[in-house]
Chains A and B, each alone.
Chain A
Amino acid sequence: MNSYSYTPLITLLPLAGFVILGIFGRKYFNKTGGLIGTGLLLISAILSLYTAYQYFFVNGKVGDTYQTITAVKFTWLTFSQHVSIDMGIILDPISVMMLVVVTFVSLMVHIFSLGYMHGEERFATYYAFLGLFTFSMLGLVVSSNLFQIYMFWELVGVSSYLLIGYYFDRPSAVAASKKAFIVTRFADLGFLIGILVLAFYGESLDFATIIKNLSTAQSTQFVAITSASFLGISAITWGLTLVFMGGAGKSAMFPLHIWLPDAMEGPTPVSALIHAATMVVAGVYLVARLFPLFTINESALEIVRIVGVTSAVFAAVIACTQTDIKRVLAYSTMSQIGYMMFALGVSSTGGENGLGYTASMFHLFTHAFFKSLLFLGAGAVIHMVHSNDMKDMGGLRKHMPITHISFLVACLAIAGVPFFSGFFSKEEILLAAYHSSKTVYVLALLTSGLTAFYMFRLYFNIFWNKDTEVHGHHGEGTFAMKLPLILLAVLAFGAGYIPFGQFVSTDGKALESEFHLAFSVAPVALGLLGIAIAAWMYMKPNEKPQRVANAMGGLYKAAYRKFYIDEIYLFITKKIIFNLIGRPAAWIDRNIIDGLMNGIAAVTAKTSALIKGMQSGKVQNYALYFFGGVAALLIMFIYFWRP
């Protein structure tokens, strides 16, 4: 027994909420379901904070290095001699950090929803789904092995499917949830094969064992995985790239990002939970979890870097043109996650070289707070004006002061204005990029300027600009909606002051983050410039935005249409896959198999069905196919494929 034996409770309490509310919710707790769910999660959050305290300050450190502690572990089943499947909870700096982030943000969302979802018909069901999602996400972050992480990974997908599709009477919500599910499933296919490759060569499913087996040069497993190759690429590159493909799907990285903007159809607090702080960063977390393997394989790491930086720039450009406020936030999330990804991509391991890794985790941490704050703020705004479109908003600062201030704090944080949390983490990422690759650095800098611009475009359009008539019947929302905004605003400001390098680094040792004043000049100046342009264009109602859009012409239009990525996918799936494979298959079924039956059936319609069945030639046909199959196999295996 160790002192962490209570940790399963952290994950199991939300599950209990799901079971209770899922089974009895609609009958007994439809009014009080929210309080039950929130209460359980509160306990879970307190336990997480306690765990973090204990781990970081009491007994996580041996010497000057943070250890990986296995809090709970049991063998679930033994698959073969090498591979046994375990269920367990491991605590290391990143999993403990994620525990805190997930439970805290989830708690805020639970509280916010008490006001936001009040009066919904399926109130208890909503909380049941929230509980299920939180459980799966927590299970994912504490996973000790690949099987467990894959299982929870899928479970996260299912529960987010349920949450996005919560408004199942809206066709767009249904379509969105299906899209999200199918796209991420497709990515998970890569993940699954990646797991199999790594598990096969690493001879284990356990993270620690795989990493040990595969990263020790000259070990038999290492030699095997680096020498085996397929299509000229070594097995380890394949394995890691495929695993990364799963991560990229969940984290909405280019080009697998198409589901994220549509997923905004779900209830807004859900977006705050899933699409800001938890599920979408799962991909980053996965790469971080397997980071020691990525560092020994430069090509896989390069893919991470390229995909990350592409997504960051690409999404930032699109975000500048969208008018649906939730979509702006969605693209902004994608861009920020791109930041975290390439930060991992430019990192290597050990001491100063691991700065990118620390910075990535740091940005994940701060981003969770300010982005969920932005989503919740957007939720409050939508609650007020009953629209998602910027055109219907403006001048709201007078009507909702608390939302206004907290939203402003979040915008300043994400724009990287000094003294706010985003500044610190972004600065570290830029520094890491600067030391590793100048191209990445320049692109990141550009993105940072764009980020400031589109966030303040959003801010001025909502809270300044023209005045809107607000049918002010319910004011700014209940206390339950304001409290999370305030708490998150405090963190969005202050989370950056945590000396993150002390706790999270590639080798578990403290990493002193240095602060270079000169280095910060460029990003801060660009950020302020972005804010200034946004203020110039959007603070007052005027014609400038239209003129700029016209001047940009094709580029604006392309960005507005999200660079036609959706259309390309649609073209490939509908026109190519559907026509080339689906149609012929259906055609054979309809015309040859059924058609033969029906055609001849029409002639002999008057004779009995029994005779029709026999005379149609169909059974003979079947026999013919059968025999053809046998003959083909015989020829194949006797003449061509004999050992």
Chain B
Amino acid sequence: MQQELLLTVIIFILLFLKLGADNIDSKKLMTLVNVLLAINLAAGFFFNQSGSLFGDMFYTDHLLRLEKSILNLGVLIISLQSVNWLSKHQHAVEFYLLMLSTLLGMYFMISSHNILMFYVGLELASIPLAAMANFDLDKKRSSEAAMKYIMSSAFASGLLLFGISIMYGVTGTLSYEGLREVASDSPLFLFSFILLIAGFGFKISAVPFHLWTADVYEGSPIAVTSYMSVISKGSMIFVMASVLFHVFDKIFFTWYNLLAVLAVLSMIIGNLFALRQQNLKRFLAFSSISQVGFILIGMTSANPQGATSVIYFVLIYIFSNLAAFGVLSLVSTEKGKETIDEFKGFYKTNPALTWILAIALFSLAGIPPTAGFFGKFFLILAGASKNNYVLITIAALNMVISMYYYLRIIKAMFMDANDNPIEKVEISLSPKIAFVTCVAGIVITGLVSGVYDYIFSLVR
């Protein structure tokens, strides 16, 4: 509970700040917030209580604590990257209030030990996110994105809640322990279970629950897009891994095949759409859909290696995706350019940013020695433990296809000529720190085996 309390305290500090001081200098404010977030991240490593609270509604242990810390790290990086954007924004504090509320919601999702508690956390994590999507207040696209998100989200939540109520009707319990006892493959239980999975699928934007993704990602401010694609998605993946592995282990047969179907669809459709995108935000949206497919492959293993690989991959994915979004965010905020054509010849004017983006894309594509290679290799190795080589072949084939479109961007930046390349973009201190963290993360997480070993030691 300590992490949740600390985050709540931070939210209140910001709230009082907003109410108390009207014209606070935005630069100072950003520094303060980032320091608070850094403290939040660091403190997470010192809390080490395990156990349950509130009549077993809430549960935490070392692994869950680590998962929350991973999210904290991502939030800190996003915050550092969006300094340029937010310091010009008149409602910076509100942005953080919303963002940290959703983060709190995710904490509760991760720590819930009761499906109703999970639902409450999910809503806390979703509704403020719609307001965040609307944060480019003068842009219509941003409002449109917010509207689309809240509508889709409401729809998904409705089905999810329907599923939960049927589950309660069938079993008479909502606690994880209770559900684990009575889970069965009776049609009605499976019905409720599939609705539950659809709710999960919406959040991680797995195909066919992904349609909102591209529009919302493209319309939202980049900081929000990266938050959705990394933090929001990552938290749900953590929840999925623990719920499927420990609550629904009796109906493994069903969810194994279910995940396999979703994984194949996500990889193929995500890849095919990503191939043709011109807008980089939209491109990253589709590529992230196919990345989810890979994560689902790892999840099908249902063993500790699989769980470890999934968490490990999310960590790597945070570094890689945020590095890519960070570069995009800087360029888009400063110069307003977002398409691949506009990025041609980027290397001539911005070598440092080009390298960062290239390393990030290499990692997303899974090319050694970047961490993404190890992440994907372990996911596939875990998935192979169920001996389903058709699935693995499809995954490997998709790795090749994705290689092609990631390379396309790298080629555009390094090799294509452009009479009118994007001018030099200055990188201020905070984004610089964020970039160094990301790049270091991409290199170190892969090469230092301790990271994987540490996660493995925590997985039950």
Contacts and interface: CB of A to CB of B under 8 A. Distances in A.
Q: Considering residues A152, A196, A581, which has the most beta carbons from chain B within 10 angstroms of its beta carbon?
A: A196
A634 B404 contact: no
B411 interface: yes
A69 interface: no
Interface stretch (A110-118, A514-522, A551-559, A617-625): A617-625
B194 interface: yes
B190 A638 contact: yes
Contacts of B415: 165, 168-169, 174
Interface string A196-208: 1101100000000
A634 B191 contact: yes
B261 A193 contact: no
B456 interface: yes
B135 interface: no
Contact of B276 (A150, A589, A610, A621): A589
Contact of B378 (A79, A150, A619, A621): A79
Given A589-B273, A633-B198, A634-B191, A618 B148 contact: yes
A385 B95 CA distance: 66
Interface in B240-280: 253-254, 257-258, 261, 269, 272-273, 275-276
B152 A643 contact: no
Interface in B175-203: 185, 187, 190-191, 194-195, 197-198, 202
Contact of A610 (B144, B257, B272, B452): B144
Contacts of A185: 400, 403
Interface string B43-66: 000000000000000000000000
Contacts of A62: none
A585 interface: yes
Nearest to A634: B194
B236 to A, nearest CB: 16
Interface in A119-175: 147, 150-152, 154-155, 158, 165, 168-169, 174
Interface residues of A, number: 64
Contacts of B114: none
Nearest to A189: B396
Contacts of A483: none
Interface residues of B, number: 68
Interface stretch (B85-93, B104-112, B384-392, B425-433): B384-392
Interface in A164-223: 165, 168-169, 174, 178, 181-182, 185-186, 188-189, 192-193, 196-197, 199-200
A186 B404 CA distance: 11
B399 interface: yes
Contacts of A621: 211
Interface in A575-591: 581-582, 585-586, 589
B348 to A, nearest CB: 11
Contacts of B407: 178, 181-182
A230 B389 contact: yes
Given A196-B380, A200-B387, A642-B185, A629 B209 contact: yes
B interface, over-half SS: helix
Q: Considering residues A154, A188, A613, A628, which has the most beta carbons from chain B within 10 angstroms of its beta carbon?
A: A613
A625 B212 CA distance: 10
Interface string B213-230: 001000000000000000
A80 B385 CA distance: 10
Interface in B117-166: 140-141, 143-144, 147-148, 151-152, 155-156, 159
A637 B258 contact: yes
B273 A585 contact: yes
B325 interface: no
B208 A629 contact: yes
A188 B191 CA distance: 41
Contacts of B417: 169
Nearest to A614: B147
B173 to A, nearest CB: 22
Contacts of A586: 275-276
A51 B336 CA distance: 58
Contacts of B208: 625-626, 628-629, 632
Nearest to B142: A609
A186 B378 CA distance: 19
B168 interface: no
B300 to A, nearest CB: 14
A571 to B, nearest CB: 18
B378 A155 contact: no
Given A610-B143, A625-B208, A629-B209, A77 B276 contact: no
Nearest to B271: A585
A85 B159 CA distance: 44
Interface of B: 140-141, 143-144, 147-148, 151-152, 155-156, 159, 185, 187, 190-191, 194-195, 197-198, 202, 207-209, 211-212, 215, 253-254, 257-258, 261, 269, 272-273, 275-276, 303-305, 367-369, 373, 377-378, 380-381, 384-385, 387, 389, 392-393, 396-397, 399-400, 403-404, 407, 411, 414-415, 417, 449, 452-453, 456
9 shortest interchain CB distances as A-B pairs: A609-B140, A629-B208, A77-B449, A613-B144, A585-B272, A622-B211, A643-B253, A196-B384, A168-B415
Interface of A: 76-80, 83, 85, 147, 150-152, 154-155, 158, 165, 168-169, 174, 178, 181-182, 185-186, 188-189, 192-193, 196-197, 199-200, 230, 581-582, 585-586, 589, 593, 608-610, 612-614, 618-619, 621-623, 625-630, 632-634, 636-638, 641-643
9 contacts: A158-B368, A178-B411, A188-B400, A196-B380, A581-B272, A633-B198, A633-B258, A637-B258, A642-B254
Given A158-B368, A585-B273, A641-B257, 15 more contacts: A78-B456, A80-B303, A80-B305, A154-B373, A168-B414, A197-B389, A200-B387, A582-B275, A586-B276, A593-B211, A610-B143, A613-B148, A619-B151, A629-B207, A638-B190
